[in-house]
Amino acid sequence: MTDLFSRPLSVISVGAAMFAEDIATQGAPVTHLEWSPPGGGRPDIVAALTTLSQPDIAARIEAANAEALERIIGSQPVLVGFAPALEVVPGMTKTTILHAGPPIEYERMAGAMKGAVTGALVFEGLAADIEEADVVARSGTITFSPCHEHDCVGSMAGVTSASMFMHIVENRPYGNRAFTNLSEQLAKILRMGANDQSVIDRLIWMRDVLGPILREAMISAKEIDLRMMLAQALHMGDEAHNRNNAGTALLIQALTPHILNSSFSTKDQQDVFNFVLSSEYFSGPTWMAASKAALDSAKGIKDSTVVVAMCRNGVDFGIRVAGTGDQWFIGPAQFVEGPLFAGFTVADKGLDIGDSAITETYGIGGFAMACAPAIVPLVGGTVSEAIEYSRSMMQITTATNPNLTIPILGFRGVATGIDVRKVEETGVLPVINTAIAHKEAGIGMIGAGLTHPPLEAFHEATLALAASF
């Protein structure tokens, strides 16, 4: 024992970081191993995990997860058109407003979502102004429903109304379709909660000019292979959630000859190109719809523990799991940590919001930040941390996707197929990079950063999965 304390120590600290910090303060080398009990130590979650680990049940789960991953990885999302939501979205009516995240009533909505809802009602002619729109929204005459329950996804507030033009993405091997509306490009936009006349005027132009031009262009183009284009964008420096410079260049390149051959005036065509030039986010929704199409192909595979949706409405964070179909598992939405635009403080931040975490669910976005070191100034952190996020997500996924690879990691596929059990067992939560909307309606985007789902949502899913066996 005396000899032990006379030699230099090299310490491994497991669990609480404070022990490692104390040792480091005393000048001793220490390696901290982050660890927490499975399920956060909750007896009911530990019991559920024990049920799921029984050999016969585990074998059923592995078979189901293999099928889910085969469908997700084998999916080939193809852009086949653009059309107004009323024409193509299942269940859409003139008085339906779709929103991001799990179900929520208007009275509980976050400020950004209320701002987007009231702006959409004015845009649709269902209210004369924002004040009247608030009355209409509370009247019971409007149907509010999550985008995910209509084969859709929506950025940030995700508010989608009947006249808005939608991407139509078809998953060729499996035949399912997914939809999302068009990017408004700028920071002061409806999806961020802004709703003044400039926002409404832009939506009108998108309905009357941008959408119809894109529809005519796609009639000419017939289809665009999004999986191939996405793979190329990742190799060019995108992560396809918040950095879309390459994806937007590739998408508009594919559309340009068909836009130029459209029946619209040169002025209208120039306006479309200038609009795309205003922001690289033009292709952001495209990758969301592609991700949704791929993941929906695995929905409903009995016994699977693979997550097929993560989304948030600014109040609640919801996930869906392949083996439990359309059931929602919900926890509290989190704050997003990252740089804010000049003039804003942490007191201005709204909680995490949007369906765009469908990209991380698929394996891109925060899971593919190693592809996009240039995203660091937007969301915070360092390049080495961005690379480590892509590595660490392997701990909670079931496979890698060979169709979407990361050059700096030796062209390893992106981590794909979040497994509820692995999240519970490791305590590692999926990483999401995302924009930050102001907590009040009418203002818009104020920054960007990183966040994680609440563990509570995974706890709910774990209990439901265990109860299903």
Give per-residue pLDDT as tens, 195-206: 999 999 999 999
In the predicted structure, residue 39 carries a pLDDT above the cut 60: yes
Which of 7-16, 66-75, 151-160, 450-459 comes out lowest in average pLDDT? Answer: 7-16
Output the CA torsion sign for 217, 220, 222, 224: negative
Q: What is the per-residue pLDDT for 341? A: 94
Asked whether residue 18 falls in the same domain as residue 59, the answer is no
In the predicted structure, residue 4 carries a pLDDT above the cut 90: no
- H/E segment holding residue 163: none
Asked whether residue 350 falls in the same domain as residue 234, the answer is no
**Residue 294, in any domain of the structure:** no
Asked whether residue 256 falls in the same domain as residue 310, the answer is no
In the predicted structure, residue 20 carries a pLDDT above the cut 70: no
- Any idea what the CATH number is for the domain that residue 129 is in? 3.90.1710.10
Asked whether residue 145 falls in the same domain as residue 108, the answer is yes
Asked whether residue 67 falls in the same domain as residue 84, the answer is no
Q: What is the per-residue pLDDT for 6? A: 64
Last residue of a domain, one of 289, 309, 342: 289
Query: Which band of pLDDT confidence, cut at 50, 70 and 90, is reported for residue 37?
Result: confident
**Residue 382, in any domain of the structure:** yes
Give phi and psi for 180, each to the nearest 5: -155, 155
Domain span at residue 376 reads: 42-73+299-467
Minimal CA–CA distance to 378: which of 408, 341, 344, 339?
Answer: 339
Last residue of a domain, one of 289, 308, 337: 289
| Chain segment 398-407, per-residue pLDDT in tens | 999 999 999 9
Asked whether residue 280 falls in the same domain as residue 360, the answer is no
Asked whether residue 29 falls in the same domain as residue 159, the answer is no
Q: What is the per-residue pLDDT for 3? A: 67
Helix (H, G, I), strand (E, B) or coil at 314: coil
Asked whether residue 16 falls in the same domain as residue 47, the answer is no
- Give the Cα separation of 442 and 111 in Å (integer): 8
Q: What is the per-residue pLDDT for 142? A: 98
The torsion region of residue 339 among left (phi > 0), alpha (psi -120 to 50) and beta comes to beta
Asked whether residue 188 falls in the same domain as residue 276, the answer is yes
Helix (H, G, I), strand (E, B) or coil at 46: helix
Which of 25-29, 127-131, 335-339, 459-463 comes out lowest in average pLDDT? Answer: 25-29
Which of 151-160, 180-189, 299-308, 391-400 comes out lowest in average pLDDT? Answer: 180-189
**Residue 407, in any domain of the structure:** yes
Burial of residue 317, with CB atoms counted within 10 A of its CB: 0-12 exposed, 13-18 middle, 19 or more buried: buried
Q: Tell me how many domains the chain contains.
A: 3
Asked whether residue 20 falls in the same domain as residue 57, the answer is no
What is the mean predicted confidence (pLDDT) over 272-291? 97
- H/E segment holding residue 208: none
Query: Which band of pLDDT confidence, cut at 50, 70 and 90, is reported for residue 186?
Result: confident
Q: What is the per-residue pLDDT for 192? A: 94
**Residue 236, in any domain of the structure:** yes
**Residue 141, in any domain of the structure:** yes
Return the DSSP state at 82. E
Give phi and psi for 312, each to the nearest 5: -150, 150
- Give the Cα separation of 282 and 190 in Å (integer): 15
